[in-house]
Structure 1
């Protein structure tokens, strides 16, 4: 007997009550449980989960699992938290269906990884590799900050463009791990509005980087710290390029500065000889 019964539905609830009262299904009283067993049984906790707006297929799937005694996953338990941030996370999954092509869609996983991405974007220092951390974040009954909602929507629009452009890039060589989804969302939020091919470079570099140190890329502390180091190094390189970029406009030695950044002399000039346009910045981290 488990110390937690995952579902209570009307038929199961009434059956449990009759069982506890030593009453058989035929209405005849029987000594099913001893007094000691009844005392022990009273200490068990029953968890009741109520779902709304389910499709008929979802109802059948849940009822089938109840009958087979399959408990809720940790991710599924997050869905019962009714707060604005939880509703926002669920609305993102509905509004951007292409996301289902790069994340695990089984048994509540979308809500879990999207919530982890939200926390990572809003406060990376508080994001930990534990479900308890996400549960605490979702239970905060506050309105979703406007800045966060705008930033996240931009992230998911960029993700959708990347998926539509080349979805196989996410799974190339290695399956796209949930923790990679979380960190890549953070990368897009940290470096908004750049070229799609630059984001593609970031994605490939991130996947290569983390697998230099970890064969199994899971959501744990070691992998988390490796990916955080990648983002920190990416940010440092971005700052270096920004400094060179500023110098480029302030210095007449275009060719020398261009070589410092790109390693080749190609540039676009207008009739006055001034630089007219610059290619998008691309960073490749090598270790």
Structure 2
């Protein structure tokens, strides 16, 4: 036997793995492409401006802090004073964001996209309208006209504040779409309300809504006689809700936030449809303005019941919808519409204690406008009224149970005499408006709504 093993040395070829046969059907990898950013903006520039220069530019109009999409001044005096304290003590203040546009003469205008609250606080401090607070001590930059004597900030500190600088980020030649998108992306501080978010949209419907908002609230100030809350975009949001409902007439569908957004973006709407909605909405809203600006008609349409301080958004919305549905009826003018609005509001408040924009309240309003309420029984409490959907055909209101005399079969056999054996009197309406509502709802062929 050989001393060497009979096992032969393994050949390196035996351990070589044969390359796998490539599938002829397998696709060859595509050459890798370099990813690029599309639709990017021009690189912004950074600058620092003294507070005194910023305030002067705001007064001259070279800095605009009130573009359509901007919200109102929402900072309280206390919060504005805290910003002044941060500037004086060199605490961090976020940059202000500008969009710079230039006219043919070379004049530049800066539009404030973010930082309106900060710029407004600086200007109000320099005008002597808010103080710098240090504990209980209040020091003003100057004494405002027509105000009582105040304690002033020492001159060295006033000079320091005038020379304090704010960092500003500046974009140039942004398109209106990019400008509004920038506003939506960079909001800092207090969160935007739904109405303020809707104000940032652009397009035919958004421009129309801004136009009507200016006509009704900025010029005519109908919120005062109508007792409406319009702060922080509420007035604009109510207008969008109304326009969205008018767009679906003669049917009623509650316009959700998504549907309001689609309306502002004009999704799926032709140019003819947009003009039709705008024309009908403008006619109805201007008739409302006629009623609201006439003291006699306004008292008929929008008088408030006791212990109620303002009209609700749902009353505002359905008052305009009633006008839109009936303004073309023969013999119907502002006086008849004002009377119909007042009667509708009285009838609804007799049924619904809580005037919120829910399916039950909306359904009651819509059925009143369309006349479906004539088929209903006498109303019961608001908590017992029900509605399947806002566009329901019947207004279902549970009537309060009426007392019944016990029969022999179900008369109780008390072990002792009952303390109250007198029959209960028939329930009476709780108020004059409730009595009016019961007469309307219980008389099939009569009612103020039929007169129109």
Greater Rg over alpha carbons, structure = 2
Q: Structure 1 residue aligned with 2:117, among 50, 54, 60?
A: 60
Instruction: Measure the CA separation in 2 of the matches of 1:61 and 1:157.
Output: 37
Structure 2 length-normalised TM: 0.37
The one of the two structures with greater contact order (alpha-carbon pairs below 8 A, sep at least 6) is 1
| Aligned residues between the structures | 195
1:284 and 2:445 are equivalent in the alignment: no
| Alignment partner, residue 266 of structure 2 | 140
- CA-CA distance at 1:67 after TM superposition: 11
Over residues 63-114 of structure 1, what are the superposed CA-to-partner deviations in whole Å (9 max), with x where a residue is unaligned?
A: 76x9993211111111122221111111111123333333322011121111
Is 1:234–1:283's contact at 8 Å kept on the other side of the alignment? no
Offset from partner CA, 1:156-183 (integer Å, 9 cap, x none): 2211211121234414324321111111
Between the aligned partners of 1:53 and 1:159, the Cα distance in structure 2 is 37
Matched residues in 1 for 2:280 and 2:187: separation? Answer: 43
* Residues 75, 108 of structure 1: 8 Å contact kept: yes
Write the distance in 1 (CA, Å) between the matches of 2:215 and 2:231: 18
**Contact kept in structure 1, 2:242 and 2:321, CA below 8 Å:** yes
Higher strand residue share: 2
- Could you say what secondary structure the match of 1:127 adopts? coil
Cα distance in 2 for residues equivalent to 1:53 and 1:93: 25
The alignment status of 1:78 with 2:198, answered yes or no, reads yes
SS of residue in 2 equivalent to 1:145: helix
Alignment correspondent of 1:191: 326
String of CA shifts for 1:33-59, please: whole Å, max 9, x gaps.
xxxxxxxxxxxxxxx9x9x9979xx93
Unaligned runs of 5+ in 1: 1-9, 12-24, 27-47, 238-281
Alignment of 1:1-287 (within 5 A): 59-60=116-117, 69-96=189-216, 97-98=219-220, 99-101=222-224, 102=226, 103-124=228-249, 125=251, 127-128=253-254, 130-141=256-267, 142=269, 143=271, 145-166=274-295, 167-169=298-300, 170-173=302-305, 174=308, 175-193=310-328, 194-233=332-371, 284=448
More helix by share: 1
Give the conservation status (yes or no) of the 8 Å contact 1:81–1:139: yes
For the aligned residue pairs, the C-alpha RMSD in angstroms reads 4.0
* Uncovered stretches (5+) of structure 2, i.e. residues with no partner: 1-45, 48-89, 92-96, 100-108, 122-185, 376-445
Distance in 1 separating the partners of 2:110 and 2:208: 16
CA distance in 1 between counterparts of 2:351 and 2:327 reads 27
